[in-house]
Amino acid sequence: MQDLGSCQTVRNSELEVNLMTEKKTENSVFRILDAAINRASEGLRVVEDYLRMDLADAHLAKTLKQLRHDLTESTRSVDPQKRMAARDSVDDVGRTIETTAEYQRDTVASGPAAQSVVQPNLARAQQALRTIEEFSKTLDLKIARSIEQLRYRVYTAEKAILTTSVSLKHLGDARLYVLIDALGGSSQEAEPFSKLKQKVKNLVEAKVDVIQLRDKTLTDRELVEAGRAVVAETRLSDTKFIMNDRVDLAMASNADGVHLGQDELQISDARRIVGAARLIGVSTHSIEQARKAVLGGANYIGVGPVFPSSTKSFDAHVGLDLVSAVAQEIQLPAFAIGGITLDNVRDVCEAGQSRVAVQNAIVDSSDPRKVASEFLTLLRDD
């Protein structure tokens, strides 16, 4: 028969082993959380520095700064003393694990920082957040839930940052956006939309950057035909063609993109239809709408109405204050719109915006090509 004292000794030994195992496991959890919190914070800071000092986008930089702040708040209840006690950067086996790609970055001259630096650091932050989320479940579910929401916000920020980078590649040099209707043309004419084609040809020759077709008098079929007429004149040029409002007609006419008002489709819904390659523009009438459009994945925004216009009626005009506010914090291409003429375009430039969208001042002039060229000279000299 086994001695009772021996049994007690065995039980005590087992208890000690269990306690040691629990402490080791707890220590490992805090070590993992400490490393992941640091990694996530570092990744977000790298991106924030790029947004502040390279892209100079105050809105996105503030978004990243808020993410870092919220990461700190979400993990504040992770015992800092246990984090420090568990840290072992000297003997971390990860110090000796390297990959070829880890030290490969494009030079400033050869590639955009958004892809070579920003994307890897956003991925690092996202992966670290997932680690925090999973291991914090062993300590406090409140932390895990908070980090899960934070991770999704980082995904949203990534989309906005990379979309801004891509948009600047396509529209970074764009200055003049001209809105045009079908000029009374219809599909019943002997040469359908001949006036429209000639007007577009003149604008293309003037090096207009973007042409938008906006006509409420045509049927859907006629709008598609008119859109195709525009495409025929812009196809071999640098001028981009945008269809107003209608995502379906933009696709049918093979437009370069679509422009949405605040009452039209959400950007996400439009993107499902037009895909990644086509541009999506959004009309904005407040700084909040402009910020939302950036985070929603718009390629450019219209800002206005700046001045009274005979083309479209509004209850109020945002004036130059909104133009200035957008210019100060948003780098996504933004076109001031509404009543802009050769007489007041310098006021828009002085407010900080050298991109404008114009209709009447150009389309209704006796020489649209000449007036468009004058606009471009003023905007590019700014």
pLDDT at 77 over 60: yes
Give me the percent of the chain exceeding a pLDDT of 90: 79
* Distance between CA atoms of residues 286 and 323, nearest Å: 9
Contact indicator for 136, 265 with CB cutoff of 8 Å: no
d(C-alpha 294, C-alpha 153), whole Å = 13
Structure tokens at 77: 């209840």
pLDDT digits (tens, 9 = 90+) for 354-368: 999 999 999 999 999
* pLDDT on residue 207: 97
The DSSP letter of residue 357 is E
| Domain map (residue ranges) of the chain | 4-168, 173-381
Query: Is 80 exceeded by the pLDDT of residue 17?
Result: no
Cβ 43 vs Cβ 122: under 8 Å: yes
For domain 173-381, is the CATH number 3.10.20.440?
no
Q: pLDDT-based confidence at 192, cuts 50/70/90? A: confident
Structure tokens at 246: 């209608």
Q: Tell me: the pLDDT tens digits for 31-75?
A: 999 999 999 999 999 999 999 999 999 999 999 999 999 999 999
**Does the pLDDT of residue 185 top 90, yes or no?**
no
Domain 4-168 has CATH 1.20.1260: yes
What confidence category does residue 9 fall into, taking pLDDT thresholds of 50, 70 and 90?
A: low
Q: Which DSSP helix (H) or strand (E) runs through 178?
A: strand 176-180
Please tell me what DSSP assigns to residue 261: -
Lowest mean pLDDT among 95-104, 277-286, 358-367: 95-104
Q: Percent of the chain beyond pLDDT 70?
A: 85
Whole-model pTM: value is 0.87
On average, the pLDDT of the chain sits at 90
Q: What is the pLDDT of residue 280?
A: 98
Chain centre to alpha carbon of residue 258? 16
- Tell me the average pLDDT across 144-172: 96
CA distance 293 to 246: 18
